[in-house]
Each structure stands twice: as structure tokens, then as C-alpha cells.
Amino acid sequence: MPFLPALRYPVFPQLAEVLDAAVLLFAGDVATQLVGWLALVACIGLVFVWARELSSPAGGWIAAAMLAGSPIAFYLASTGYVEPLLALFGLAALYAAVRGRQESSLPWIVASGALAGTAAGVKYLGLFFVPASAVLLLPRRPWPVMMRHLGLYGLAATVALAPTYGRLVAHTGNPLFPFYPQLFGTSPWAAQEFLGKQGAEHLLAASTFLWDMTFRRHDAGGLPPFSPAFVVGLPVALVGAWHRPTLRRLLPLAVGYVLLAPVQAHYFLGIAPLWSVLTGAAAAALVDRGREGGRVLMVVALILAFGGEAYAVYRVHRLGLPPATDADRARLLAEEQPLYPAAAFLNGVGRSVVVYGVGAENMVDYFMGTLLGDFNGPASYARIEARVRARGSVAAALDEIGASYLLLPNGASVWTSWAVTDRRLQRIYGDSHATVYRVLPAAAP
């Protein structure tokens, strides 16, 4: 897996992408979404099992319904996000740690470490599960036994995360690249601003996050909602944790993840299964004390479980059926992504072209060639603008980075005025949203 300097994150923990690539070898790009779907289905199953073990079958159904009834879970599983895999490996690591502590079982302890390290290999947020699972492992046993268990756990976790993080360090010297340059050294890709709110502002946003991701989604990334059961069931989880020591050990981990993670809805899916387990088990402990209580919980679970399907029906009613042909797909993309027709035109030029795009960083997934231009990296907007001013020519600046084409959104930007006056830029495409220029060869001296 090479270092890819044209991307916003040219190197990253990429276990999920590796699994997607394995599927890609046997089927098309749509089939890669089956990896996320398989992870989500397995995660729902593990949520049911764990909540049932902590309470009753009704608690397991409530927990599973909370996750299965969240529209965002379906959305993330079907659009290439890595969060379903993060959620599965993270939850499995915590579950294995609890089993390892209860049974003093070395296989469970090793499995917990391997799963926690695997979660870290999916995404940086997965590093949370390495210490979190270790905390759950801590037994009331003699010191030598405790050290042996933690040593085995740490060894398994290290082996599991070594391939992805070893690659990061080898390429960049920063195990959290491109974040925290103040600790590991700066680079053109330094992207601390992508972490979002920090300090007191972050803690304030985290305090209302469960509400925001459900009812004020514009404040949490604008993605489909989670089941209302997460915020409505918060008091239930708190009361249940107060009365049940087994839940009390899990609650600080669930809260800690929310306080540490960026306040964007899709990040919450990494810890949503644990919240589901907590809420389902707590609800069963408080309500399921007889036949009637169990029936009530089953009805509630049934209602919650259909939240995802109901949202899908609502969206299809608003947007129509998904495109079934390449032509329909291109038409939909052109409606949703104003720069897509220009990207499609450049794809027709050839697969090896290098394009510099201004304000087009979100088009990178639609290019067959190489699209340069972003807010960070060696070809960042600020860097190339400085080179244009220094060279007095857009084409000369693009020569330095090997770009043969320039993609500009239409509008009164300084780039437009530069492009129309540069004699080495030839306009070859234009529509109501974008213009494409070809860089002509420099005249011989």
C-alpha cells in the first residue's frame, strides 16, 4: 500500500479498505458495501447476545432494535464508511474482555487484545478500545496474575495494530498522521483543524450530542438520524447503571468515548452498540419483572426496529428509486454534484491525466486520473496560489506539480481572472457550473 500524496490523508489506518479491496477482486465496486453490511449485521447480533446475557431476552431485543432501527446505521453500512467495522471490532473487544475477566480465560483475554488492536487498525478512534478493554480486564486477583493477563492482552493488541501503525510510522514518523503535528512534527498535510471543536467548546457540544445527532442533525454533520431511543433511553441507562454493577463498569466507557470523539454523528456509531447494550439491559432490569413487562418491552423493540425501514421509505418517496443504470447514475450525480459533468469530461480525456482543481476536492472519488488541490498537502490552495503569484503564471505553477489541466468552478474568484489572462491556458470545456482549461506546452527558449 503506497503513500498517496494526492489525497487529503495520504496514509491512514486502512484495515477496512483492505477488506473492501479483497471483495473488489471478485465483484464490482457496489459489492464492497457488503463488508459494511456484514459488519453491521454481526454487530447487531452481538448486541443482542450481550444485552440478553446482562438482563433477559427482552433486553436483548431492545438493544438490537435500537441499532437496527437507526437510519444512519444503514446509511453508513451502504456508503463505504468504515464505522460499521469499527463498531463491530470495538464492541467485540469489550465483550471478550468482560468474558475474560469473568472466566479468567486466557483465550478470551488474547481475543480481546487482538480485537482491540484490529479496531485501532480500522480508524484512529479505534485506539480508544485498547485501554478501554484493558480497564474491563482488571480483575480482583493477585498482582502476578493480573500482570500476566494484561501482558498477554497487550501483546495481542500490539501484534494486531502493528501492520497499520508500523506503516504510518515508517512513512511519516507520526503514528497519528496527519494530526497532532505539535507532538510528532509538522508536514504539508498537518490537518489539526479537521478534528473539529476543541477544549471547552468540544465538551459543551458533547454534552448535547445525543440530542443533536437525533433532533438537530445540522449541528452533528447533517447525516440521517440515530434512533430516538439513544437520547430518550439515556435516563434509563443511567438508572440501570446505578443499580447494576455490571452496567456501572460499562457506562464510563460509553460516556468517555462521546467526550473524546469529534462531535459528528457518524463517529458515534463506533460506540452506539455499547450504548444499545447498556440501554437494553437497563430497560429489562427496570421493567421486565413479569410477563406484562416483557410484553411491553417486546412491543417497544418492534416499534424501534422499523425506524430504519421507515426512514428509507420516506427518502424513496422524496427522492425516487435509486438509479439502476449508468446513465441514470450520471444524471443523478449531475443534479447532486454540480462539478460532476466537468469531472466526467476529464475522465474521457484519459486515465493518466493530472488535474488541478480549485474548490473541487470533493470530486476526487469521481476521477479516474489524479486530482490535486485541497486545503492541505503539497498542492494546497494556499501553496499553489503563492506559486502563481511568484511565477506570474498559473500554467507555470501547474508545471511545477505536473498538472496538465485546470478545473475551476464558475464564479468571480481570483483564479478565474488569472486563468483568462494566462496565454498558456486553453479553455476546452465549460458549463453553467465549471470550466476546464488545458495547460499548453511552454514555448522553447
pLDDT tens digits for range 374-432? 998 999 999 999 999 999 999 999 999 999 999 999 986 889 999 999 999 999 999 99
Residue 290 has a pLDDT of 61
Residue 80 has a pLDDT of 86
Mean pLDDT confidence for 341-358: 90
Grid cell listed for 137:
480486564
Q: pLDDT grade, residue 131 (50/70/90)?
A: very high
Residue 386 has a pLDDT of 94
Whether residue 253 contacts residue 260, with contact meaning beta carbons closer than 8 Å, is answered with no
Residue reference for cell 418517496: 317
Whether residue 262 contacts residue 249, with contact meaning beta carbons closer than 8 Å, is answered with no
- Residues pairing with 357 in the sheet: 407
Residue 444 has a pLDDT of 59
Q: pLDDT grade, residue 155 (50/70/90)?
A: very high
- Tell which wins on pLDDT, 346 or 288: 346
HSE-up of residue 181 (Cα within 13 Å, Cβ side): 11
Most confidently predicted of 42-56, 304-318, 328-342 = 42-56
Residue 52 has a pLDDT of 94
Give the largest CA-CA distance in the chain: 92
- Tell which wins on pLDDT, 350 or 117: 117
Residue 445 has a pLDDT of 58
Q: Where on the phi/psi map is residue 373: left (φ > 0), alpha (ψ -120 to 50), or beta?
A: left
Single pTM value for the model: 0.90
Please tell me whether residue 372 adopts helix, strand or coil conformation: strand
Nearest to 114 by CA among 99, 96, 102: 96
Nearest to 408 by CA among 391, 433, 386, 442: 433
Mean pLDDT confidence for 303-326: 87
Q: What is the pLDDT of residues 359-370, one digit of tens each?
A: 998 898 888 889
Residue reference for cell 435500537: 66
Q: What is the pLDDT of residues 96-105, one digit of tens each?
A: 999 999 888 8
Task: Indicate whether 172 pLDDT > 70.
Answer: yes
Q: pLDDT grade, residue 123 (50/70/90)?
A: very high
Mean pLDDT confidence for 35-41: 95
Task: Indicate whether 325 pLDDT > 90.
Answer: no
Task: Indicate whether 293 pLDDT > 80.
Answer: no
Residue 323 has a pLDDT of 86
Please tell me whether residue 429 adopts helix, strand or coil conformation: strand
Residue reference for cell 488569472: 418
Grid cell listed for 2:
503506497
Task: Indicate whether 438 pLDDT > 70.
Answer: yes
Task: Indicate whether 289 pLDDT > 90.
Answer: no
Round the average pLDDT of the chain to a whole number and report it: 90
- Tell which wins on pLDDT, 47 or 187: 47
